Every structure is written in structure tokens, then in C-alpha cells.
Chain A
């Protein structure tokens, strides 16, 4: 049962335009959400996060939006650059006792075309 879903396995965008990557979740106990970026043959790199008490977090070209009622979050990249081409993973976190566990989506492969 996939608690974190990234329904688009791939996305292609022109350089300079906006990239929108979507993520849906099912567990209402999730209270922290993260986006990671992964290049081939490398480990994932933390990109941006958002707490459930917020609905938006912005860091440079990257903005994450959270819609708790819809259990949906999205990552906006604007303007998109060819170097943004990578696989983007959405992850959600819930407290379990004294610990936390990240639940990961399957990823969306973004291609930014020059």
C-alpha cells in the first residue's frame, strides 16, 4: 500500500518554464514533508521541506505547496533549468514513538529541455 504517491513517473518541461511535480499521501498522521533530488549514480540530495503547520515554503527557485485537506503537495521550480533534470522524490514523515520514519514516493523523472 503506497502511502506516498507520485503519479507521474516522468515530466518534460522547456527551459525557463515552470515545472510542477505532484505528490499525494494517504496518512493524515504525516506532519512533515520533504523533496529530494537524485541524479543518476548519486544518492538523493535534500531539496526543500515543509511542516504541516504551513501551506507554503519557498527557497529560491523552489517552492513547495501543501494542501492538507486534499492530502496533496507540489513542488514548483521556476524558472526550470537543464541542470534541474533529475529524479525528484517526495517523502513524508510521521512520529512513531520517539522516532520518525520517512515514507517515500516512487519518484518523478524531470527532463528540462534547452
Chain B
């Protein structure tokens, strides 16, 4: 958890609303990964981004989910029209340079959809 910031830590949304999760990588890191952990399950890869580029989004649901990592500012994971099944912990990780394998994680955002 060395320096990766995520906010908010907890987010409550009603069905149909939008959720925006933010991630600021460690200083000097330009690669960001988003993971989702559903209750009673392991970490599932969602998307890998570099600045202004989506490198691998093979784990992203086809609809309602999007991610960006602009040149300036944090990475954003956006979930439109949330449903109860989106309730999970969303973790962001960063790394300095692929193919460096070690990723450093933030504390996560816990999304609850009512």
C-alpha cells in the first residue's frame, strides 16, 4: 500500500446512479491496474492503463464500465447505471514500468449499491 491513493474509500449508490472511483498511482508510476473483488471471491483483473492509453481491458464488463488515465490527474473507473451486482471492493494498483511484475496496491474503494 506504499503510496497508491484511492478515493473514496467507501461509496454508496442507488441502482441506476453512476459511480466514479479514483486512483492516484505511486509517484513515478505510470501504469495503473484496476481489480475487482466480489464478496467471497478472489481478485479479478479488469483493466490495465498507461497514461492516455488503455493497454488491456480484457477483464472489463462490456457495458456500463469504462476507465481512463489522463495525462494529468488520477485514473478513473466509471460505472454507469450501477446494479446491485456491482457491489464489491475495487482495487487499484500501480507499477513503475512493465514488464516489471510487482504491483503496488491502494486500500480499495468499497462500493455498495442499494
Contacts and interface: CB of A to CB of B under 8 A. Distances in A.
B18 interface: no
Given A43-B1, A45-B1, A101-B48, A107 B101 contact: no
Interface centre among B4, B42, B106 (most CB of A within 10 A): B42
Contacts of B42: 89, 104-107
A1 interface: no
Contact of A43 (B4, B44, B101): B4
B63 interface: no
Contact of A89 (B1, B43, B45, B56): B43
B58 to A, nearest CB: 8
Given A41-B107, A49-B102, A103-B45, 13 more contacts: A41-B108, A43-B4, A43-B93, A43-B105, A43-B107, A43-B108, A89-B42, A93-B99, A96-B56, A98-B99, A100-B98, A100-B101, A102-B33
16 contacts: A32-B101, A42-B108, A43-B91, A43-B93, A43-B105, A44-B105, A46-B103, A49-B101, A89-B43, A93-B99, A95-B99, A99-B56, A101-B48, A102-B45, A106-B41, A107-B43
